[in-house]
Amino acid sequence: MPALILDGTRIAQEIRGEVAAEVKTMAAAGVRPGLAVVLVGHNPASEIYVRGKVKACQALGIYSETLTPPASVSTEELLALVAKLNARSEIAGILVQLPLPPRVDTRRVLIAVEPEKDVDGFHPCNVGRLVAGMPGPRACTPAGILELLKRYQIPIAGRRAVVVGRSDIVGKPVALLLLHEHATVTICHSKTPDLPAVCREADILVAAIGRAAMLTADYLKPGATVIDVGMNRVDNRQEAARIFRDAPEKLASFDQRGSVLVGDVEPRAVEEIASAYTPVPGGVGPLTIAMLMVNTVASAERRAGLC
């Protein structure tokens, strides 16, 4: 029986439909959610991400604005900008697009965002709420992963979950979310001895290490559910051929674009061994923006006393 493909694009569309309906309900009560995005300088990847977020807001009826200070901006200037956004009642959510220039103290800027407006879920107060199992905005990618598992009715309680990667953005929060759903969770990283053996114990394997096709067949338990968070661009044709086992369609795509996107898990291995898996692209990625919209609307509801 072929592995089930966990279609993040479809689930994201479902979530966006629910958000759009909620925005309409709020509009009837005279409330419109507002999201402010701070985009510093001219990072091409960041600009693409921000355009996607703004486009999603427009499609769902959420007010949005993008503030674009120059790359020369100082930490103090960014802190002043965040303070102004904190004070604006029509702004329910503030998102500071990362990475910031090296001269900027990123941690100070992120902590300056009011916890109630922290729709990324990165503020220490919201991380604390996650640890304690209290309501609050959750980091968007981990929250999207949980939605994907639940909407595909993949059991979590009592399962062994292994998370490869310990970042504050994905690894740690997704481990906590899985723990709150009663999984037995192991977090792995570069110092984990015999990483393949630990990964082979996973009923649910979350790969968030940021290395193209690092997790091969030797890391996978037959029948596991594999969530591949990685989004790695491979621009070496020989490497792409090795990863995709000379698959004609992938090599044709490489020849057309000059690169190909690869997750953290070897794609052919996961297709052959897993019972369910997220494709790259089209798996976890679309859910991140969808959950950002969820967080923004929830923040607006809380501020308006609608929940």
pLDDT band at 110 (very low <50, low <70, confident <90, very high): very high
Catalytic status, residue 97: yes
pLDDT band at 138 (very low <50, low <70, confident <90, very high): very high
What Cα–Cα distance (Å) separates residue 10 from each residue in 6, 206, 216, 231?
Answer: 9, 20, 27, 19
Q: For residue 112, is pLDDT > 90?
A: yes
The single residue of 7, 13, 24, 53 carrying the catalytic annotation is 53
DSSP three-state, residue 223: coil
> Which pLDDT score is estimated for 101?
94
Q: What is the mean pLDDT of the chain?
A: 96
Q: For residue 307, is pLDDT > 80?
A: no
Comparison of pLDDT for 45 and 278, the residue scoring more: 278
Catalytic status, residue 194: no
What Cα–Cα distance (Å) separates residue 28 from each residue in 22, 23, 61?
Answer: 10, 9, 13
Average pLDDT of the residues in 201-224: 97
For residue 116 the two structure tokens come to 């109630």
Q: Give the burial string for 57-71 (b: 16+ CB within 10 Å, else e).
A: beebbbbbebbebee
Among 45-54, 74-83, 246-255, top mean pLDDT goes to 74-83
Q: Is the pTM of this model over 0.75?
A: yes
Q: pLDDT exceeding 90 applies to what percent of the chain?
A: 95
Task: Set out the domains of the chain in order of their start, with CATH numbers.
Answer: 31-119 (3.40.50.10860), 140-287 (3.40.50.720)
The single residue of 117, 118, 120, 250 carrying the catalytic annotation is 120
> Which pLDDT score is estimated for 86?
98
Strand partners, 164: 188, 207
Segment 155-188, tens digit of pLDDT: 999 999 999 999 999 999 999 999 999 999 999 9
> Which pLDDT score is estimated for 45?
83
> Which pLDDT score is estimated for 44?
86
Q: For residue 215, is pLDDT > 80?
A: yes
CA pair distance 65, 43, nearest whole angstrom: 18
Average pLDDT of the residues in 105-111: 95
Q: For residue 221, is pLDDT > 90?
A: yes
Segment 7-65, tens digit of pLDDT: 999 999 999 999 999 999 999 999 999 999 999 998 888 898 899 999 999 999 999 99
CA pair distance 147, 156, nearest whole angstrom: 12
> Which pLDDT score is estimated for 1?
78
> Which pLDDT score is estimated for 304?
84
Q: For residue 277, is pLDDT > 90?
A: yes
Average pLDDT of the residues in 140-159: 98
The single residue of 97, 221, 228, 250 carrying the catalytic annotation is 97
Closest to 114 measured CA to CA, from 142, 136, 131, 140? 136
> Which pLDDT score is estimated for 306?
78
Q: Is 96 exposed, middle or buried (0-12, 13-18, 19+ CB in 10 A)?
A: buried
Catalytic status, residue 264: no
Strand partners, 37: 66, 95
CA pair distance 39, 67, nearest whole angstrom: 6
